[in-house]
Amino acid sequence: MAEPTQIESQVPRARLLIVDDEVPQMRALCATLELEGYATDGYGSAHEALATLRPGLFDLLLTDLMMPEMDGIALIKSARQADPTLGAIVMTGHGTIDTAVQAMKVGALDYILKPFRLNVILPVLSRALDVQRLRRENAALQERERIRSAELAVAYRDLEAFAYSISHDLRAPLRAIDGFAQMLQEDHAPRLDEEARRLIGVIRERSQAMDQLIVGLLAFSRAGRQPLDSLPIDMFALATAAVAEMRASYCGPDPLIDIGALPACAGDPTVIRQVWCNLIGNALKYSARRSQPHIRISGHVAGAEAIYEVQDNGAGFDMQYAGKLFGVFQRLHRADEFAGTGVGLAIVQRIVTRHGGRIWAEGAVDAGARFCFALPLALPAAHGPACEACASAAASGVGDD
């Protein structure tokens, strides 16, 4: 066995592991490349070279193709098991296309022919090191991403636990306040003057509104974390069901609701139904002051997207404030004009965005509004159960704008 050639350069271009059973050639190559600024360790035995391998210790393996105890291709396979990021170059006197292809399949970046010529070796080394550098940078990025994903998963679990804790710790006293105020209102109202009764009503109204805000914030938080199913969706059936659900809780003038043809798409039906419920519920609410509320639901295909619209003849909004529509707790109308928490449209946007879609709105003051959302016709395979929080949002009343 030839003794390893020691690294003499303080800042080598790269560290090379050179393996060739023709020891004089191996030593000559080590010496030549060290003069070019490389650090080299040379071995005449493949097994002894493998014994020195540690992840990240060498940048490139240069191996002879034909060796008695282990050929170069087998050495590359074994070396990459010890260091998966190690690049390799095959040295051969039998330079055929088949040899090169076979070597590339097991991880070789290039090959060089014997007898060696420096003006050929140096460009091959330079190209291989560039590729190797990119490989290792990519591997480092992937590892950082893996660690970051694991940290985020832990953070999400902690956030979920914190959210449930906040929900219990905040909602329990609010319910107690509302309950005691209700008892005071019902049991002692005759002994209270008009102002006291008004103040009790304010206490109940504000505690109930705070409870709705907490529920809405929890639903918004969960809407971005729950996994989605990817299923074919009959949008006409889904929108029709949402209309029936919203009609059941609607107390205004009898609305005229037109549902046109709606193209099918792929997505999570549970949460897409919540999109329809939010948008249709908002349309009913903001057009309830019309003698004849009129809502039009339509859709069409444009390119790789299915686009859906919910249009009403209600209060509308000023387009200069359209950017606030989908923000959490952002409202364009006062609470004494139209009830709501300002969370519903934020949940809608989050659901649509998680499906790879987009949402926008158009309107004019006192001239109605039109909400549109686009979904890809095909959704990539999802990874689990539907978002329960979004489905429960409608039942808890947090789906309102």
Q: Which residue has the higher pLDDT, 374 or 103?
A: 374
Q: What is the dihedral of CA 170, 172, 175, 180, to 10 degrees?
A: -120
| Maximum mean pLDDT: which of 117-121, 154-158, 202-206, 208-212 | 117-121
* Residue-level pLDDT at 336: 46
Looking at the structure, give the CATH architecture of the domain made up of residues 15-116: 3-Layer(aba) Sandwich (3.40)
Task: Quote the crossing angle between the two packed helices 344-354 and 269-286, to the nearest 10°.
Answer: 150
3-state DSSP assignment of residue 91? strand
For the segment 159-186, the average pLDDT, to the nearest whole number, is 77
For the segment 211-234, the average pLDDT, to the nearest whole number, is 68
For the segment 139-155, the average pLDDT, to the nearest whole number, is 85
For the segment 286-303, the average pLDDT, to the nearest whole number, is 90
E strand intervals along 14-117: 15-19, 39-43, 60-64, 87-92, 108-113
How do beta strands 231-233 and 265-267 pair? antiparallel
Give the residue from 258, 328, 250, 325 showing the smallest Cα distance to 298: 258
Task: Calculate ∠ Cα 230-239-379, nearest 5°.
Answer: 20
* Residue-level pLDDT at 224: 54
Q: What is the CATH number of domain 227-401?
A: 3.30.565.10
E strand intervals along 9-119: 15-19, 39-43, 60-64, 87-92, 108-113
* Residue-level pLDDT at 327: 64
Fold match flag (15-116 vs 227-401): no
C-beta of residue 260 within 8 angstroms of C-beta of residue 296 = yes
391, containing H or E segment: helix 388-396
Instruction: Return the structure tokens found at 1.
Output: 């066995």
Q: Which residue has the higher pLDDT, 23 or 174?
A: 23
For the segment 177-206, the average pLDDT, to the nearest whole number, is 85
Q: What is the dihedral of CA 198, 201, 206, 212, to 10 degrees?
A: -160
For the segment 156-161, the average pLDDT, to the nearest whole number, is 70
Please name the residues in contact with 157: beta carbons below 8 A apart, sequence gap of 6 or more: none
Residue 355 has pLDDT above 80, yes or no: yes
Task: Calculate ∠ Cα 325-377-228, nearest 5°.
Answer: 70
* Domain boundaries along the sequence of the chain: 15-116, 227-401
Cα gap 387→205, rounded to integer Å = 30
3-state DSSP assignment of residue 279? helix
Identify the sign of the CA torsion 177, 329, 310, 316: positive
* Residue-level pLDDT at 172: 76
E strand intervals along 180-327: 231-233, 256-259, 265-267, 294-302, 305-312
Residue 17 has pLDDT above 90, yes or no: yes
For the segment 143-166, the average pLDDT, to the nearest whole number, is 78
| Maximum mean pLDDT: which of 54-68, 316-330, 372-386 | 54-68
Instruction: Return the structure tokens found at 281.
Output: 């519920």
